[in-house]
């Protein structure tokens, strides 16, 4: 299952039942899990550890050196879970400093030319559509969707089950469970379709919609708005996560 034109370093670890197509390159410090498929012209390099059943389409470049000018050498890493799909031209970089890592979970889809920069932390079941890009140190929670050409500033977070419209610039955190759009991106309403697809009850959706109005529509200071949400709404897991996400924000949430 390894094409004769593939170049695999003798010290690289390639798991069982992997398929490595024409003109692929696998570097010295790569560990590739079982049942991965590299279609053709894929480059995987750096101190990169990849789980099982991941699929890499042509011209994906994974585990490359950070573009951060603060890089001083050492062994920054890239860690990838299971069953991810990296479509044509996707780029994923290792961390910047020795011992640090870019981390990607499982069951994510990275569409054509998506970019994940150094030191990003991504969860599971995320979709990054074509040409969407994450700058360094971004965090993306489970089930988030970045539409085409979304550009996310360094150190921003994208919350769980959030969806961001196409061609948006994200310069502050996007809170969980919301649909964000505009220039720059800001929450417009709850992500109703995404919540329904993931089995979130109508009662919880109503509570999230009310929380959205209190936080983003009534002109309150953040602490005042969060206090009202806590006192007036049921303390559902989704409400608690929304409040904790906002309180832990370092760049502030987009409003």
Options 39, 115, 118, 143, the catalytic residue: 118
Is 105 among the catalytic positions?
no
Catalytic residue among 45, 68, 119, 173: 119
- Residue 192, classed as helix, strand or coil, is helix
Structural contact between residues 134 and 115, judged by C-beta atoms closer than 8 angstroms: yes
Question: Cα–Cα distance between 210 and 218 in angstroms, integer?
Answer: 11
d(CA 101, CA 122): 11
CA-to-CA dists, residue 73 to 19, 37, 92, 95, 155, angstroms: 32, 30, 18, 11, 22
Element (H, E) at 102: strand 101-104
Least Cα distance to 137 among 87, 101, 107 occurs for 101
The answer to whether residue 136 is catalytic is yes
Catalytic residue among 33, 81, 89, 136: 136
34 is catalytic: no
Which are the catalytic amino acids? 118-119, 136
């Amino acid at each position: 299952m390894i094409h004769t034109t593939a170049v695999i370093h003798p010290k690289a670890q390639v798991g069982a039942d992997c398929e490595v197509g024409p003109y692929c390159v696998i570097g010295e410090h790569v560990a590739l899990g079982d049942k991965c498929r590299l279609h053709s012209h894929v480059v995987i390099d750096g101190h990169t550890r990849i789980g099982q059943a991941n699929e890499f389409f042509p011209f994906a470049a994974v585990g490359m050196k950070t573009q951060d000018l603060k890089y001083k050498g050492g062994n920054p890493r890239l860690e990838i879970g299971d069953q991810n799909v990296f479509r044509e031209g996707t780029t994923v970089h290792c961390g910047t400093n020795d011992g640090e890592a870019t981390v990607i979970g499982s069951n994510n889809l990275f569409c054509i030319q998506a970019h994940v920069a150094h030191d990003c932390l991504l969860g599971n079941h995320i979709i990054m559509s074509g040409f969407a890009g994450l700058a360094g140190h971004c965090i993306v929670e489970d089930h988030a969707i970045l539409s085409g050409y979304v550009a996310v500033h360094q150190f921003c977070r994208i919350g769980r089950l959030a969806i961001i419209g196409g061609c948006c610039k994200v310069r502050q955190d996007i809170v969980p469970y919301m649909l964000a759009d505009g220039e720059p991106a800001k929450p417009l309403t709850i992500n109703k379709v995404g919540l329904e697809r993931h089995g979130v009850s109508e009662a919880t959706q109503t509570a999230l919609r009310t929380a959205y109005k209190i936080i983003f529509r009534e002109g309150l200071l953040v602490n005042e708005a969060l206090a009202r949400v806590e006192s007036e709404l049921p303390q559902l897991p989704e409400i608690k996560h929304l409040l904790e996400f906002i309180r832990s924000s370092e760049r502030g949430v987009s409003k």
